């Protein structure tokens, strides 16, 4: 299917046009909405020329290096939020493990595992609307010891923070804080009603204020339009998120979105290309759901993205680490072992 914007003067239709968009990105010029839509609605035959152009941008800013991140599900389930995609939410009946915040020793063991997996960034993720002061104490103590003993970048994802909590995480040595926008402003009420899109934006702005590097991304495949995907990329550009995880919905039985279909692999590649073109200098991570959406085309995703999660996600299994290492080697890329 041809892009529905084809034939409009200045809108990409050929390999040369994709290269022109890549040059705009290299110059850090903002793509128009029409250009963004043209990427998402391009004919499937254009995917390889598009990725070739986008790789110029990725290589300019990140060479052939791939950043690896590892998640520890530090607190599972027990969440009062009603996010329709999440197995840990109060509206989910998915059979998952449920436990309070892990002890310090377990968080430290996770950091050592991240090192063993060649991950440069260790992501401490906890379910819930936001951490209690006791939970924050536990995270802070673990982070201090990790920072003192291991060359790891630490990313925390604990929900909405109070000002003093953000300040304490920064003082403890957390490098980055993740709070995803997840979807577009217009689509937000169809995904959750227990918090707002604006609260997510305010959370990202807050951690920036306290010197934490902002990490914020999206989940593709939750009923959003192509125009909304473009708007999501623009929103993250405007937030100046340093790291942008692009997740593709892995529809989990027992969640409200269990019937949602997967994103076609070629569409997923176009989405990754779009985020690279709109946020050219930022870390673009092909994140959750890559295994079930990109499937055999996972390696092509790294021509646009420069980062991925190694190992399992929060409640779903990831690809074996050995397969990720082989994929990176076969591409002629290399792991960026230390992200500091």
285 is in an annotated binding site: yes
Consult the annotation and say whether 86 binds a ligand. yes
242: pLDDT strictly greater than 50: yes
pLDDT of residue 6: 43
What pLDDT is stored for residue 1 in this prediction? 33
Please check whether residue 290 lies inside any domain of the structure.
yes
**279 belongs to an annotated ligand binding site:** no
Closest CA to 339 of 205, 216, 243: 243
The answer to whether residue 157 scores a pLDDT higher than 60 is yes
In a domain, 244, yes or no: yes
pLDDT tier at 56, thresholds 50, 70, 90: very high
**Does residue 327 fall inside a structural domain?**
yes
Is 338 annotated among the ligand-binding residues?
A: no
Residue 16 lies in a domain: no
C-alpha distance from residue 323 to each of 214, 296, 318, 326 (Å): 29, 12, 10, 5
Q: What is the pLDDT of residues 277-315, one digit of tens each?
A: 999 999 999 999 999 999 999 999 999 999 999 999 998
Domain contains 148: yes
In a domain, 92, yes or no: yes
Tokens of residue 204, six digits: 């990202």
In angstroms, the CA 199 to CA 50 distance is 35
What is the reported pLDDT for 13?
Answer: 63
CA distance 279 to 276: 5
The residue behind tokens 């991950």 is: 119
Which tokens sit at 314?
Answer: 């929060």
83 a known binding residue? yes
Instruction: Quote the domain boundaries for residue 210.
Output: 31-336
301 assigned to some structural domain: yes
Q: Answer yes or no: is 17 within a domain.
A: no
Domain count, the chain: 1
Provide the CATH number for the domain around residue 53. Answer: 3.20.20.70
């Amino acid at each position: 299917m041809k892009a529905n914007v084809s034939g409009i003067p200045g809108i990409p239709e050929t390999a040369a046009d994709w290269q022109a968009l890549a040059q705009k990105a290299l110059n850090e010029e903002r793509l128009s909405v029409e250009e963004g839509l043209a990427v998402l609605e391009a004919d499937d035959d254009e995917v390889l020329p598009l990725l070739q152009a986008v790789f110029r941008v990725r290589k300019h800013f990140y060479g052939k290096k791939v950043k690896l991140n590892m998640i520890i599900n530090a607190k599972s389930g027990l969440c009062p939020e009603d996010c329709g995609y999440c197995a840990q939410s109060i509206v989910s009946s998915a059979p998952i493990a449920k436990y309070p915040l892990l002890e310090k020793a377990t968080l430290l063991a996770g950091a050592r595992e991240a090192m063993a997996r060649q991950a440069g960034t260790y992501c401490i993720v906890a379910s819930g609307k936001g951490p209690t002061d006791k939970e924050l104490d536990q995270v802070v103590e673990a982070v201090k010891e990790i920072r003192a003993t291991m060359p790891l970048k630490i990313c925390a994802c604990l929900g909405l923070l109070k000002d003093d909590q953000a300040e304490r995480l920064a003082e403890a040595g957390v490098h980055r804080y993740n709070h995803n926008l997840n979807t577009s402003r217009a689509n937000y009420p169809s995904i959750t009603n227990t918090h707002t899109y604006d609260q997510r934006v305010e959370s990202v702005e807050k951690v920036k204020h306290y010197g934490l590097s902002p990490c914020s991304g999206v989940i593709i495949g939750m009923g959003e339009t192509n125009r909304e995907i473009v708007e999501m990329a623009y929103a993250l550009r405007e937030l100046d998120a340093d790291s942008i995880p692009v997740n593709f919905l892995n529809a989990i039985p027992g969640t409200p979105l269990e019937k949602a279909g997967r994103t076609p692999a070629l569409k997923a590649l176009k989405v990754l290309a779009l985020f690279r073109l709109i946020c050219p200098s930022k870390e673009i991570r092909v994140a959750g759901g890559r295994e079930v959406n990109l499937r055999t085309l996972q390696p092509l995703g790294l021509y646009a993205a420069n980062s991925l999660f190694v190992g399992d996600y929060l409640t779903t299994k990831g690809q074996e680490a050995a397969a990720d290492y082989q994929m990176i080697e076969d591409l002629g890329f290399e792991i960026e072992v230390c992200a500091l």
